[in-house]
């Protein structure tokens, strides 16, 4: 049985807590490895190691830190197939999709390669008589990230890329469901020239998350996961005086206006709703056709497209998506499908009961489609996080606009239309953090920032981009004067003015 251990100080450290978690192969349903779960003492060891290494790393000039990032990019490209296969084996997504997981994280590392420019700060000469003012963006020290199972490569790199480039040491607590890729990323960072201790990986569950939030040396915590836990971590982190960014769940909508290209909409929905078995916070699980004619035409086109989808093992190059991550998550999704039936929605396509030949124990679900879903239904209000698409019919543009705006989640939304006027009005008025116009999964590129509104984001600063640089630094502003010798010195008892 393979054992997955912590990575501290540039080397593998065997866990001492005596606690472990099973790591499954979602394709077979069998346990393929065990991962050690840390306790507070093991976390403290990792934090002390990071705290010892961080001052010297912060003293390295940004250009040399950038060179480590450039080398890491090179190594990611060399090892991307290995990383994608390893990721797919523990998560369940198909290898081609796993490549996307790696590459979208790599893009953030590429952004971090520009850290010498990003940290330049501001300077004003002559702000007053012989007075200059300048600002510097300085690292916080030791920071931490807690990442989810659904993107075990991308989201860790979202966090540790900007954090390390700005001069911090980073403690990564990845998901215990698919922990191998984060460890491999840390190994590659060491190979790229990162000093030991600047990126430590500590595995764990709720116990270790609570310890991270409470540890006095950790100055900032970044979190991605469910909204309830995000809100809890945000509140606890703030109570401990930490800087915190917490990204939660989602229920993204796709608004389809009558003038939309329905063939393109259906093609986009297949990937956005069912890709990665729906286990994406930027998936598109709700489609809102405007008008009955649009709804009927869209439904008619959806049915053959769904029937053509192929579900298979992660290594099958013909499969559109693979299994979900665990038996418990599969049962949860199936429970929501039954709840949708009980609530009165029309179950048009039932994805339960799928068996992949030769992999009967795998955690597979075929695509599911509901129609006539109502906003009052729990299955609409909750994030299902599986291959389930719901049709919510709207009679007008205003009704369609209100649905994502009034929903408790506000991560992403898309509108499909040929009307620039309608698209612009929708983008201006919708109360959601990320908007796509004829783009089904509007994840911003690495030099912008990722972040939702309402219960999708508990933070003042978003992930990556310039918000990531700001999150992992604090600004120091210096006002300096160099008086000329021999001049008369006057005392003043009032606040200085210019």
Which of the residues are catalytic?
281
Q: Locate tokens 């598109």: which residue?
A: 284
Helix intervals (H) in 278-326: 292-307
DSSP state of 408: S
Contacts for 232-239 with beta carbons within 8 Å, 24 or more apart?
Answer: 233/146, 233/209, 234/458, 234/459, 236/210, 237/213
* Torsion (CA) 83, 174, 92, 444 in degrees, nearest 10: -80
SS3 assignment, position 214: helix
| CA–CA separation, 261 and 263 (whole Å) | 6
Show Cβ contacts of residue 306 under 8 Å, excluding neighbours closer than 6 positions.
270, 274, 349, 367, 369
Helix intervals (H) in 113-247: 115-118, 154-165, 180-191, 206-214, 227-239
**Residues 462, 450: contact at Cβ < 8 Å?**
yes
| CA–CA separation, 447 and 433 (whole Å) | 16
| CA–CA separation, 371 and 393 (whole Å) | 8
**Residues 148, 225: contact at Cβ < 8 Å?**
yes
Both tokens assigned to 384 = 């299902």
**Residues 386, 319: contact at Cβ < 8 Å?**
no
**Residues 417, 423: contact at Cβ < 8 Å?**
yes
Distances (CA, A) of 237 to 50, 56, 222, 270: 19, 27, 10, 38
Strands lying side by side in the sheet with 473-481: 122-128, 131-139, 473-481
Q: Helix %, strand %, coil % for the chain, to 5?
A: 40, 25, 35
């Amino acid at each position: 049985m393979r054992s997955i251990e912590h990575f501290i100080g540039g080397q593998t450290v065997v866990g001492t807590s005596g606690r472990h978690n099973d790591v499954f192969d979602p394709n077979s349903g069998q346990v393929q490895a065990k991962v050690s779960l840390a306790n507070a003492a093991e976390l403290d060891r990792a934090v002390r190691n990071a705290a010892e290494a961080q001052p010297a790393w912060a003293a390295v000039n940004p250009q040399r830190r950038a060179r480590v990032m450039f080398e890491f990019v090179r190594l990611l490209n060399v090892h991307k197939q290995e990383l994608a296969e390893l990721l797919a084996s523990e998560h369940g997504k198909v290898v081609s999709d796993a490549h996307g997981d790696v590459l979208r994280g790599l893009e953030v590392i590429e952004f971090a390669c520009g850290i010498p420019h990003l940290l330049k700060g501001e300077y004003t000469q002559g702000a007053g008589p012989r007075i200059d003012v300048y600002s510097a963006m300085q690292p916080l020290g030791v920071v931490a990230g807690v990442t989810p199972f659904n993107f075990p490569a991308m989201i860790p790199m979202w966090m540790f890329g900007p954090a390390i480039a700005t001069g911090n040491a980073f403690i990564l607590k990845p998901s215990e469901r698919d922990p191998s890729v984060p460890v491999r990323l840390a190994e590659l960072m060491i190979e790229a020239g990162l000093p030991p201790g600047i990126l430590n990986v500590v595995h764990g569950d709720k116990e270790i998350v609570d310890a991270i939030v409470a540890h006095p040396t950790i100055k900032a915590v970044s979190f991605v996961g469910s909204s309830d836990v995000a809100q809890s971590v945000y509140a606890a982190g703030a109570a401990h005086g930490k800087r915190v960014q917490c990204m939660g769940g989602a229920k993204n909508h796709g608004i389809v206006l009558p003038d939309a290209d329905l063939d393109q909409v259906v093609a986009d929905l297949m990937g956005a709703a069912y890709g990665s078995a729906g286990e994406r916070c930027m998936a598109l699980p709700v489609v809102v056709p405007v008008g009955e004619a649009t709804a009927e035409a869209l439904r008619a086109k959806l049915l053959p497209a769904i029937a053509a989808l192929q579900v298979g093992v992660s290594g099958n190059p013909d499969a559109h998506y693979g299994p979900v991550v665990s038996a418990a998550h599969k049962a949860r999704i199936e429970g929501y499908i039954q709840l949708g039936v009980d609530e009165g929605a029309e179950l048009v396509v039932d994805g339960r009961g799928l068996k992949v030949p030769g992999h009967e124990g795998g955690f597979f679900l075929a695509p599911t489609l509901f129609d006539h879903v109502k906003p009052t239904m729990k299955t609409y209000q909750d994030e299902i996080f599986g291959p389930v698409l719901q049709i919510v019919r709207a009679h007008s543009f205003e009704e369609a606009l209100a649905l994502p705006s009034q929903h408790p989640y506000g991560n992403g939304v898309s509108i499909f239309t040929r009307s620039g006027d309608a698209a612009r009005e929708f983008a201006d008025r919708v109360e959601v953090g990320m908007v796509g116009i004829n783009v089904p999964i509007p994840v911003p590129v690495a030099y912008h920032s990722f972040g939702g509104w309402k219960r999708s984001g508990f933070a003042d600063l978003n992930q990556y981009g310039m918000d990531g640089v700001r999150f992992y630094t604090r600004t120091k502003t210096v006002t300096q004067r160099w008086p000329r010798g021999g001049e008369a010195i006057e005392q003043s008892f009032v606040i200085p003015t210019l």
